[in-house]
Chains A and B, each alone.
Chain A
Amino acid sequence: MDITTQKNTATPPPAPQPTEAERKRAARGATRPGDRIFLGLSRGSGILLLAIMAAIAGFLTYRAVLAISKDEGNFLTTFEWNTGTQPPVFGIAVLAYGTVISSIIAMVIAVPISVAIALFLTHYAPRRLSGPIAYVIDLLAAVPSIVYGLWGALILVPQMEGLFGWLDDYFGWTGIFDWQGGPARSMLTVGILLAIMILPIITNVSREVFRQVPQMHEEAALALGATRWEVIRMAVLPFGRSGVISASMLGLGRALGETMAVATVLSPDFLIHASLLDPGGGTFAQNIASKFGEADTFGRDALIASGLVLFVITLLVNGAARMIIARRKEYSGANA
């Protein structure tokens, strides 16, 4: 039998054409009951998440607009928070500055130290040592923020005075380290406390990332005659770069939104201080926490408006981080 006849006899009768809906469902792999149920569940969860986000955003925006429309000051630039007066005058300038500056201080301190700890744990420490250290770092992450706040207010603040004096002596001329001798309840102390609080999360995520660097990339560097530090520079850090950025963003998210620790340590006012050592200033979360209890409905709406700004800042920061990661995506190692 030659091939053509074999082909002809083997041709099945034309199957009934599937409808559009059937083909779509088949393409998603959801033709059997189990698949269809799972598809429904997972799609439902996705939609639910979007709905909740939309509801929160809608609620915040509605209440914020109520408050801002009655604000007699400029909501973005006013150095005041008087919601109970007639007319109400309030603005977020001080809060935005304080939130951003304390988070920057925290990141500048915490990211290098965290990356160094993570590298030590994955590439230098003997296994006997790295286990216990990692455990202690996990414990740090589990301490409630109010405990950090109490420790900060009772122990860190008095201890900081020595550092403040030293900074004032040598770097006072810069202006930002000028110290008038008040209690150390300032942005720098807050930044240092936040750094300690975000250190565990950045360390842990970075450690996981560094641990996943493929052995073959490290061996490639070793075989070229790289020292241990050069292996880290050539293979480990570039591979872990996007992971470290993500880790830092998790930490930054916590620093931006940290409430109790800041409220306990900072002595707030509504001024922007040029010096990081001057007590005063405030952050969004700290301001909400300290004012919410005694605020009337309008005051609460105003606080919600400030919360909305924090939300926007967090979104912007995350978007920027994603852009940094995406810009070098083809070099990420994901396609190796």
Chain B
Amino acid sequence: MAKRIDVSGLSAYYGSFRAIEDISMTVEPRSVTAFIGPSGCGKSTFLRTLNRMHEVTPGGRVEGKVMLDDENLYAAGIDPVSVRREVGMVFQRPNPFPTMSVYDNVAAGLKLLGSYKKSQLDDIVEKSLRGANLWNEVKDRLNKPGSGLSGGQQQRLCIARAIAVEPNVLLMDEPCSALDPISTLAIEDLIGELKERFTIVIVTHNMQQAARVSDRTAFFNLAAVGQPGKLIEIDDTERIFSNPSVQATEDYISGRFG
């Protein structure tokens, strides 16, 4: 199930512009790793290289290695489509399919994988919605459009959709930045539960959130606008927020810049 991510020497480009440079890190299975850093430092770009979504952007290109346990995601002959089935993703803005019901949204990924019996689908949909702490709120409206839910519910629906296919890794790109505090709390609680089953990587602008939910924190920074973003350090969250080993990290988390 949950797998270890081992990144080495990874750079990502938009055309000729190098957005992130030479990043190496290890993400432990069944843990939450938070990426923090100022806007434009490439943390979202880096996140998107972990499920090969970066190359969907026109001009997007990646150099380096991302090992998922012992499989290099960027090896020749690896199909990005199969990578994305293994590494799920939740986006900044909740994006349930507007043309589908709550049920069909959760089942969408399963229908890509193959044909399931109706009873099997029902079970997985219920399990995923329960896993996303959404079941009680939507069990009576499974056949209503997913876009009719509130923003926080939509985001949990997207999480249910992502975990329904039992990925090894769950990537979250600022999953709470479009949500109110109550919904944010619900998602943060959920992240705490999900890390029992998945390897979770979360990008956040909210340092309190990183401190609350993550086991490890990675700080990204860039020298100047137009320069590539770099990984400054990655360490246990407690240490990053109490006694980081790099001065720039301390300046950032104490609010001296960014």
> Measured between alpha carbons, how far is A217 from B82 in the docked complex, in Å?
19
The reply to whether B109 and A225 contact each other, CB–CB distance below 8 Å, is yes
The residues of B that contact A227 with a CB separation of less than 8 Å are 81
For B89, give its contact among A223, A230, A238, A330 (CB under 8 Å): A223
For A224, give its contact among B100, B144, B147, B165 (CB under 8 Å): B165
Segment among B3-11, B19-27, B68-76, B90-98 that sits at the interface with chain A: B90-98
The reply to whether B84 and A223 contact each other, CB–CB distance below 8 Å, is yes
Q: A217-B95, A238-B100 are in contact. Are A223 and B82 (CB under 8 A)?
A: no
The reply to whether A219 and B97 contact each other, CB–CB distance below 8 Å, is no
Q: Is B108 an interface residue (CB 8 A)?
A: yes
The reply to whether A330 and B51 contact each other, CB–CB distance below 8 Å, is no
- Of residues 214 through 266 on chain A, the ones whose CB sits less than 8 Å from some CB of chain B are 214, 216-217, 219-227, 230, 234-235, 238-239, 241
Residue from A220, A225, A239, A330 having most chain B Cβ neighbours under 10 A: A225
Q: Is A62 an interface residue (CB 8 A)?
A: no
Chain B min CB distance to A219 (Å):
7
The reply to whether B112 and A224 contact each other, CB–CB distance below 8 Å, is yes
Query: Across the A-B interface, how many residue pairs have beta carbons closer than 8 Å?
Result: 83
For A330, give its contact among B53, B83, B145 (CB under 8 Å): B145
The residues of B that contact A330 with a CB separation of less than 8 Å are 144-145, 148
The reply to whether B84 and A225 contact each other, CB–CB distance below 8 Å, is yes
Q: Is A19 an interface residue (CB 8 A)?
A: no
For A219, give its contact among B91, B113, B144 (CB under 8 Å): B91
Q: Is B85 an interface residue (CB 8 A)?
A: yes
Q: Is A335 an interface residue (CB 8 A)?
A: yes
Q: From B101, which residue of chain A is reached at the shortest CB distance?
A: A331
The reply to whether A336 and B98 contact each other, CB–CB distance below 8 Å, is yes
Q: From B154, which residue of chain A is reached at the shortest CB distance?
A: A336
- Of residues 314 through 336 on chain A, the ones whose CB sits less than 8 Å from some CB of chain B are 328, 330-336
> Measured between alpha carbons, how far is A220 from B100 in the docked complex, in Å?
13
Q: Is B88 an interface residue (CB 8 A)?
A: yes
The residues of A that contact B108 with a CB separation of less than 8 Å are 221, 224, 234
Chain A min CB distance to B158 (Å):
7
For B53, give its contact among A223, A234, A239, A333 (CB under 8 Å): A223
- Contact mask B112-148 → A, CB, 8 Å, 1/0? 1100000000000000000000000000000011011
The residues of A that contact B82 with a CB separation of less than 8 Å are 225
Q: Is B161 an interface residue (CB 8 A)?
A: yes
The reply to whether A222 and B56 contact each other, CB–CB distance below 8 Å, is yes
For A222, give its contact among B84, B86, B99, B161 (CB under 8 Å): B84
Q: A216-B95, A239-B99, A332-B99 are in contact. Are A223 and B51 (CB under 8 A)?
A: yes
The residues of B that contact A221 with a CB separation of less than 8 Å are 97, 108
Q: Is B162 an interface residue (CB 8 A)?
A: yes
> Measured between alpha carbons, how far is A219 from B47 in the docked complex, in Å?
14
For A230, give its contact among B56, B91, B95, B112 (CB under 8 Å): B112
The residues of B that contact A241 with a CB separation of less than 8 Å are 99
> Measured between alpha carbons, how far is A225 from B98 in the docked complex, in Å?
18
Q: From A328, which residue of chain B is reached at the shortest CB distance?
A: B99
The reply to whether A333 and B99 contact each other, CB–CB distance below 8 Å, is yes
Q: From A333, which residue of chain B is reached at the shortest CB distance?
A: B98
The residues of A that contact B91 with a CB separation of less than 8 Å are 216, 219-220, 223
Given contacts A227-B81, A239-B98, A330-B144, 12 further A-B contacts (CB under 8 A): A216-B95, A220-B96, A223-B162, A224-B85, A225-B109, A225-B112, A226-B81, A238-B97, A238-B100, A331-B100, A332-B98, A333-B99
Closest 4 CB pairs of A and B: A225-B85, A238-B99, A333-B98, A336-B98
Residues of A within 8 A of B (CB): 214, 216-217, 219-227, 230, 234-235, 238-239, 241, 328, 330-336
Can you name 14 A-B residue pairings with CB atoms under 8 Å? A216-B93, A219-B91, A220-B158, A223-B84, A223-B89, A224-B112, A225-B81, A226-B112, A227-B81, A234-B97, A239-B99, A241-B99, A335-B98, A335-B148
